[in-house]
Structure 1
Amino acid sequence: TVDPQASAFHAEVAATAKRVSDHVIPKTRAYHEIWYGDARVAGSEPEEPFYGRTYMPRKFKIGFALPPSNDIDVYAQDVGYIAIGGPDGLDGFNVAIGGSMGRTDQAPGTYPRLASVIGFVPTERLLACTDAVMAVQRDYGDRKDRQHARFKYTIDDKGLNWIKAEIERRMGAPFEDARAFAFTSNGDSYGWNATPDGRHHRTVFIENGRLDLKLLDALRDIARIHRGTLRLTPNQNVIIAGVAEDDRAGIDAVLAGHGLEADRVSTLRRNAIACVAFPTCGLAMAESERYLPSLLGRVEAILARHGLSGEPITVRMSGCPNGCSRPYIAEIGLTGRAPGKYNLYLGGGFHGQRLNRMVRENIGEPVILEVLDDVLGRYAQDRLPGERFGDFTIRAGIVREVTEGRFFND
């Protein structure tokens, strides 16, 4: 959860994440400088001590996850820190490196990659670990080919063992063995949840993260009576946090008045994400946010026909192959190729722990629904007790498991 008051452990991890964020913010006021051609004519800020003059080769994302929830999709981060607790609170973090979703169609050298867990660091060594990981990418990342500049390619070019050893050398200490952990979900928790301070929080479902006039009116009415905070989630929803017991009934009434009770939303929609695509994003090749709701309605009809209406299945749609909605780890993934045309991917892990694989390329809605109808029908008939849809597609031989990102395009 993104609510640091959900537990004392959440609060401790949130404070640690804030320290890391503050630590990696560039120590510069370069925007105060004035340049004339290649000469700086005003401003005396020294060179940034860590990033230097050239900063990082590409964007570099750091995320913190608290098992059993993988709501941030920790394996999609350049560095993912997986919080490990002990008898006295936070012991430290398992470190996962090299996650990234972006790829380019017709460019087999580009691919999504899941972060690799390379060990455990105690909390007191976390800043040193962060510096070491970022310094390796700063010094060895590709600065010539933008499509090859993310940390995942540096790792696969140099080798994971080499990268790990270089991080340990710069950190001044070896990693400990990774600690045991387990993820059981990567979505949001709905309904009221109590926090140790005697307050409560509740997640409001926001389809694809789009606040239309109806939702804006609802949040306005909540803000008028709410004395806590509103928080955004990585799954495009809003958490009403820090709610006093006496205020719960009023907030429930506002949500009900606007038709925003979570039980009105299907399980499929709760586990679906879309990027903005048209008309907002200049990189979009096909619709995403504006189209996914109607497509889900047709998929819901297929699920109902096969007796799967309550089955949680992750769906992610992006309007282009860059994968901002993290489609390559969904059980059903769709990426835009042209208006009305998509690549269809199956076999991702429900907890975000496995990449999917493309099963059909450049297809329209009729073929998408035809494929899903067939596969979901087989799932309804042949699944094992408790078996997730993505796991079934691999066991049934519908798709081959992707064991490493570099094999994604095979």
Structure 2
Amino acid sequence: MTEKKLAANEYLKVNSNYLRGTLKESVANQVTGAVADDDTQITKFHGFYMQDDRDIRAERKAQKLEPKHTFMLRARVPGGVIGMDQWLAIDDIAKELTDYNSIRLTTRQTFQYHGILKRDLKPLIKGLYQSKLDAIAACGDVNRNVMATTNPIQTQLQQDVHDWSVKISEHLLPKTRAYFELWLDEEPVDHGDKEQEPVYGKTYLPRKFKIAVAVPPYNDVDISANDLSFIAIEDENGRLAGFNVAAGGGMGSTHGDTNTYPQLTRVLGFIKPEDTLDFAQAVMLTQRDNGNRYDRKRARTKYTVDDMGVDAFREATEKHAGKKFEPAREYEFTSQGDRFGWVEDVNGKHHLTIFLEAGRIVDDEGRTVKTGLREIAKVHQGEYRMTANQNIMIANVATEDKAEIEGLCRKFGLLGKVLSPIMLNSIACVALPTCALAMAESERYLPRLIEKFDVLAEKHGIADQEIVTRMTGCPNGCGRPFLAEIGFVGKGPGKYNMYLGADGKGTRLNQMYKENIGEDEILAEVDSLFGRYSKERESGEGFGDFVVRIGAVKAVYDGREFHAVD
């Protein structure tokens, strides 16, 4: 019998000398703005991707120039908390070392830069490190940025959850010193044949691995978009009793390939807080040992859980952990978005969550978002907390400072504009012009499309209704479109697959409603559906529940039924 051939990335990882590859030589080569092909896969483990400006790709080709290669770098910020000195450094770096002078908040509760020239990679990474920030394992076949519930920060429970997100992130970092040698001038050490990755091994994980920590009833981190999730269970004193552990969630799929699909996470059981790191590592090891290393499209943890079965996956995890799960505890999620405006916590501190269109922090077209956040950072005595929905919280504001902070927000346009509930519950991935995978617009298009939805919502008397709406330029699912009540996934220039039927809580998948349609068809469908929703909805019924009840799409609670149609 012919032995199956491993995916190409598996050989690259083995031959990379623990993620060093030929990166040093690639970055030193000034003949091109790119890095060597094999190194483009290794860079991801260091937190950055090579991209090019697709808006000018054809123009440069006509001029017989190579694409304008630049890099996107994503930081590792577990729990999304940033100090004010750090923010000022982040802002300076965007201005000095990127083409776009912008910062983007991502759906992984961190920030990323776009438009970094190759010669600026090392200075940028050094600058972040001097501010106690890094991009280690922010991308690649490793555990990525660990997310934690942001909204609201009201009790000790939320602080405990954030602390665990940091501990998990630190515990699961790769042990190779490649990052420090290549970017921070650490002197290389000859390790001989000694193993440098006691957990990951030479081949690391089959694919990326995502972790989130949630505090019910808020599912703002969308646990079902993660390979591993910890669901905080509160005791009678409002403290952390432990976590329900869930595995096998994920969003990515491939157009036309029914062997790929988004999936909801499955609860394995309950653990005590002191066992958190053991079980985090154990779930990751189960995926390391059993994940698909032949077909990268089927390599995420969700497929491992489906192929093994939940019981077998649970047993393998318990074996790695050397301890058993307890029966899962009761919990309920009621929302998946952010809570905007001021929230006061039990300690008398105030927290202001601000909507950022598609997570973009930039000054352009009359917007002064970047300047505003910089000026606030100069006087604020607390911190910024990035949310998993591309927004930002100005956290831990003293009562006597509220007026000043709010005044600065209004001065720079961070507050004051009336935004619809649909807009406030929207997410868009970056897509064009920088993402190489994008098939259609997203970040630059969704806000304008939602403005047209708002007109229709007003027309039908449902302008006050929250409807989770998301768009991505491709089916990889970075903007978590398959957990949206209305989801759009790019199919080609100006064309999208339209999905309906998630529940607004992140606990049900949507399903395709219309394939490969443009704006006129989208607006016609939304007009009709909004009209029916206005007239036929039941008391308190959300839009996603309504379209399922009327049979527009079926309810999907298992990704293996995502492609099924009646």
- TM superposition score normalised by structure 1: 0.95
Aligned partners of 1:139, 1:259: CA distance in 2, in Å? 50
2:511 is the counterpart of 1:357: yes
2:165 is the counterpart of 1:11: no
8 Å CA contact 1:61–1:78 kept in 2: the answer is yes
Aligned partners of 1:210, 1:73: CA distance in 2, in Å? 21
Q: CA deviation at 1:371?
A: 1.0
2:253 is the counterpart of 1:103: yes
Q: What is the correspondence of 1:302-317 to structure 2 with a 5 Å cutoff?
A: 302-317=456-471
Q: Relative to structure 1, is the Cα distance of residues 369 and 43 closer, same or farther in structure 2, using a 3 angstrom cutoff?
A: same
Q: CA deviation at 1:187?
A: 1.1
What is the identity, as a one-letter code, of the residue corresponding to 1:225? V
Q: CA deviation at 1:5?
A: 5.4
Q: How many residues align?
A: 405
Of the candidates 276, 286, 303, which is equivalent to residue 136 of structure 1? 286
1:265 is aligned to 419
8 Å CA contact 1:4–1:11 kept in 2: the answer is no
Q: What is the correspondence of 1:11-410 to structure 2 with a 5 Å cutoff?
A: 11-31=159-179, 42-44=190-192, 46-88=195-237, 89-213=239-363, 214-261=368-415, 264-410=418-564
Aligned partners of 1:204, 1:32: CA distance in 2, in Å? 35
Aligned partners of 1:97, 1:90: CA distance in 2, in Å? 20
SS in 2 for 1:349: coil
1:37 is aligned to none
2:150 is the counterpart of 1:2: yes
8 Å CA contact 1:317–1:333 kept in 2: the answer is yes
What is the identity, as a one-letter code, of the residue corresponding to 1:73? D
SS in 2 for 1:193: strand
Deviation track 1:324-380 (CA, whole Å, cap 9, x = no partner) reads 100001000000011100000000120111000001111000111111111111111
8 Å CA contact 1:3–1:231 kept in 2: the answer is no
Aligned partners of 2:416, 2:340: CA distance in 1, in Å? 7
Q: CA deviation at 1:118?
A: 2.0
Q: Relative to structure 1, is the Cα distance of residues 5 and 376 closer, same or farther in structure 2, using a 3 angstrom cutoff?
A: closer
8 Å CA contact 2:497–2:516 kept in 1: the answer is yes
- TM superposition score normalised by structure 2: 0.69
Q: CA deviation at 1:195?
A: 2.7
Q: Relative to structure 1, is the Cα distance of residues 291 and 31 closer, same or farther in structure 2, using a 3 angstrom cutoff?
A: closer
Question: Aligned-residue CA RMSD in angstroms?
Answer: 1.8
SS in 2 for 1:264: coil
What is the identity, as a one-letter code, of the residue corresponding to 1:60? F
8 Å CA contact 2:151–2:339 kept in 1: the answer is no
Identity percentage of aligned residues: 48
Report which stretch shifted further, 361-370 or 219-228: 219-228
Q: CA deviation at 1:134?
A: 0.9
Aligned partners of 1:152, 1:267: CA distance in 2, in Å? 32
Aligned partners of 1:61, 1:246: CA distance in 2, in Å? 39
8 Å CA contact 2:230–2:246 kept in 1: the answer is yes
Deviation track 1:100-140 (CA, whole Å, cap 9, x = no partner) reads 10001011101111111121111122122112211111001
Q: Relative to structure 1, is the Cα distance of residues 396 and 248 closer, same or farther in structure 2, using a 3 angstrom cutoff?
A: same
What is the identity, as a one-letter code, of the residue corresponding to 1:106? G
SS in 1 for 2:458: helix
What is the identity, as a one-letter code, of the residue corresponding to 1:102? G
Q: CA deviation at 1:220?
A: 2.1
Q: CA deviation at 1:33?
A: 7.3
Report which stretch shifted further, 44-53 or 296-305: 44-53
Q: Relative to structure 1, is the Cα distance of residues 324 and 32 closer, same or farther in structure 2, using a 3 angstrom cutoff?
A: closer
Q: Relative to structure 1, is the Cα distance of residues 4 and 327 closer, same or farther in structure 2, using a 3 angstrom cutoff?
A: closer
Q: CA deviation at 1:4?
A: 9.0
Aligned partners of 1:262, 1:128: CA distance in 2, in Å? 47
SS in 1 for 2:361: coil
8 Å CA contact 2:264–2:557 kept in 1: the answer is no
Q: CA deviation at 1:43?
A: 4.5
8 Å CA contact 1:277–1:288 kept in 2: the answer is yes
Aligned partners of 1:403, 1:102: CA distance in 2, in Å? 16
Q: CA deviation at 1:264?
A: 1.3
SS in 1 for 2:487: strand
Q: CA deviation at 1:388?
A: 0.6
Deviation track 1:213-255 (CA, whole Å, cap 9, x = no partner) reads 1101211221232121112111111111121211110111112
8 Å CA contact 1:225–1:250 kept in 2: the answer is no
8 Å CA contact 2:381–2:397 kept in 1: the answer is yes
Aligned partners of 2:480, 2:559: CA distance in 1, in Å? 14
8 Å CA contact 2:369–2:413 kept in 1: the answer is no
